[in-house]
Every structure is written in C-alpha cells, then in structure tokens.
Structure 1
Amino acid sequence: MYFFVSNLSFVNLYYTTSTIPQMLVNLRGPEKTISHRGCVAQLYIFLALGSTECVLLAIMAFDHYAAICKPLHYSVIMNERRCVHMAAGPWVSGLINSLVQSTLTLVAPRCGHRVIDHFFCEIPALLKLVCIDTHVNEIELNVVGALILLVPLALILGTYVIIAQAVMKIRSAESPWKAFNTCASRQLMVFLFYFTAISIYVQPSSNYSHDRGKITSLFYGIVKPTLNPFIYTLRNKDVKSALRRALTKEFWVKLR
C-alpha cells in the first residue's frame, strides 16, 4: 500500500508544481504571460502525470482488493517484483499519452492566436486557438481520453463492487464498518477526479466551455491532489502516530 501511495504522492507533488507556481505569478502580477517553452513543458508534464494518476488509481484499487478479499495470499499476489511492474505501467502509459496528445496539439497552426482563456496550458484550451479544422484532434482526444479515464474507472467500480460483496459477508459488526469507512472517502475523491476529468477530455472541443473548463480543471488539478495526503495517509493510525511523535519532538527541540 505504501509503495503505491508513495508513487501517488510523487505524481501529485510534480503534477501541481507544474502549474500552480506559474498560475500564482500570473494571478498576482499585471502581466499574465507564459513563455512558449514554459507552456510546452507545462502541457507535457501536466498531461503525463495526470494520465499516470488515472491508471495508478486503478492499480491501487486492485491492491485494496487483494488486501481485503485475499488477505492470506496478499504477500504472494502483491510481491515486490509485481508491484514494481504494476507501478511502471501507469508511468509508461502516461508518458506515451502525453507525447502523442501534446505533440498533435502543439503542431497544429494557431495563426497568431496567443491568448489562452485558462489558468494554465491544457489541451482543450489550446485547441481553441487552432485556426484549422480540429476534427482529427477531437477524435484522438476522445479515444485516448476514454482509454485513460473510462477503462480505469470501470475497473475501479468493478473492483469495489467485489470488495463490497466480500465485506458484507464478514460476520463481525465492526469490521464491515471499518472497511467501508476506509474506502468511502478514498472512492469519493477518486470518482470526483474521474468525472471532472471526463467532462473535460471526453467531449467534442466545440462543446468545451471556458468557464466550466477552468473551474473543473482547478478541482482535479489542485483541490483533489491537495486533499489526497489527508485521505490516503492522515486517516492511517500509523501515520498519525508518527506525525504526532515528529511534531512533539520538534516542539521540544524548539523549546530548548
């Protein structure tokens, strides 16, 4: 569990770092600009890490399934080598997706259009600047978006249906509630992440709304990664205990 959570933490850290600093600079200063190289780097990094998270969340759902439904075989099913291979899949798919989609978007001519009606460089907003027919780009965006978003979401839904069925068979009155309590908050954020991303990337570009797109992007690009540490770690007793000891130690060191 901690291996996949560490991967998710790394993704969220650089996922938000690729957009938030530049966005804060633009919100503060009178000149709301970004260099062409900065926009290109932001697009590639943001899309690569966002795509990685989409697949990684499905891998984490399988890890939850193995832990709850196959507890006695968990160490065999999720051995170290398999975990490394499973974690490599989201990274590779994310990099490939970003390379394909970002490149197709950037090579399209913009005919001098340079004003992006968005907080950061994102494919739907950049496609609005293109001065040629974007039908091919829209088809590619929807197809790849469906693979990256809808397939993992379907796997997560199916996995947690199986988990729910297994939990309901537990005779103890406390165990089902503890399992549901652990999974509920995580799945709420997972579904909100997928549904907001789907509303942006799995739709025709002609139906893209600037205002809705900006607000939705802020949610899955900033709000959701910010809440992940609280949901995935601070609800864990071991992490809370370690944090309490660290804060107490730091407090006493300062007093001296």
Structure 2
Amino acid sequence: MSNLLEKDPLASIERQATGAFFAPDSPCDIEAKSLTKRFGDTSIFSDVSFRLARGEAVALVGANGTGKSTLLRCLMGLIPPTSGSVYLLGQPTGSATSREVRALRAQVGLVSQKHNLVPRLSVLSNVVHGLLGKHPGMRHWNHALAPHTSRALAMQALERVGLADLAQRRADRLSGGQSQRVAIARAIVGAPKVLFADEPCASLDPSAGEDIMDLFFRLVRDEGVSVVFTSHNLNHALKYGDRVLGLAQGRLRLDATAASLSATDLRGLYD
C-alpha cells in the first residue's frame, strides 16, 4: 500500500472518501448508482456512485473533458446514462413517465455559465420563464400575459438578487454580472428542491464571480436547497461545497468533506 500512495498522488485523498458520511436514513435528494456514460466507443466515465443528502452542497471538480457537465446532465435526467441508475427526489429517472419527468423538472433549478436569457424580452419576463416547468404554456412566456401571482413571485425573486429596479429592462442591456443574477432569480423563482449549477461564474471576472457565489449560496442556504455545482475554481469548491467529488481518468476518484481537503490536495485531479 505504501508504494501505491507514493505513486498515486490521489490515493491518500481517496482514503478519505465517505460516500455516505450522512446516516443511511438521511433524506436523500440525489442518488447515483454505478453510472456509466459512453458516446459511441468513447467512454466518458464509469461506475460513478454517490448520495446527496437534503440541504447538502456538493462541488464537482476535475479537468476539462472528464465529464463533469455530462454527469450533471445525467443527474438531471436530460440524457440517459449508458448503464446504472439515478434517483432524483426519490424517483428513478430512467423509468419515469413523461408526466413524472415534467413533475421532477418543476422541482429542479439550473444556473449555467451561459445565462441563456431571451435578449429581446424584459428581465421580468425572463424570470417568469422559471415557472414554465410548473405552468407550461404561453401565459408564462411573457410577463404581460402571466397571472398576477406569477409576476409577484418573479418580482420577489428579483428583489432577492437585488435587481427589482431593472425588471422592465431588456435582457440584452444587462452587464454580465446582472445577467447571471437574473439567471439565478429565474432558477429560484419556482422554489426548487434541488439546484444544479454548471460553472456559474466562468464568464465573470473574479470580483463579480465571488459576489455571485456569495449571493447564490446565501439564497440556497436560506431555503435548505440541495446543490450540485461544477467549478474549476478550487477555492470556490472548498468554500461553498460541504463535500467535493472529483472526476479523473473516467472514474470518481474523490468523495470527501471539503473541510478535510485543501486546494493542493485537489490539484492532484488535474495531473
């Protein structure tokens, strides 16, 4: 074993892996069981397993091309794994009916590095779009058509991100930081139980990125939302994650509490 530890810089970290440091009977919002994903003959990752307890924040780290975004999409039920299974809010996504999938997605929020706002629509309309999962149809495409209760929820979400005064501004007239705040408001307006964030600060300068992460996690902590986020910023992973998952060489090489790790430890995933 000592030779293995000397040869593999990750081996000593892997020994800290917990996978279930929460009690087995803790409420579980996400469970991945032996997930494998291939595109044709190309293997992205294999045998990935972990549990996400309710209210927990998990940082997913790893070098470019290790499959972080692909894993996120599998967890959300946007693409099927090649093998293995995902349970989202207790529901197996692989066998869910179309109606069950829609019901699940209505309880899930997404914040990505590409803000994906509709440029010609108002900030308020873009936030109202966050309710489409619960209320599909044209009435929630534009705030002028939306019911009063939906507009009120959207305004409350904008107030929480500090942009209520920009509700009527067109989305294409926002700064990068403002656009990401609107994307966060859109993600939280439907009071999701689980939030996924894929490199939420990648398109922002360091100062704005820190502000966004502080805001994002203050909001989700207030509501006890479960979070999975990817990041290349190792300090963000350690600061905002309760737990860190590390992908390397097509495997889950790390599952440990953030408090037990340092940025130096995580750099071994990038070798």
Higher-helix-fraction structure = 1
Confirm or deny a common fold (TM above 0.5). Answer: no
Range of TM-score over shorter length: under 0.3
Higher RCO (CA < 8 A, seq sep 6+) = 2
TM-score, normalization: structure 1? 0.28
Higher-strand-fraction structure = 2
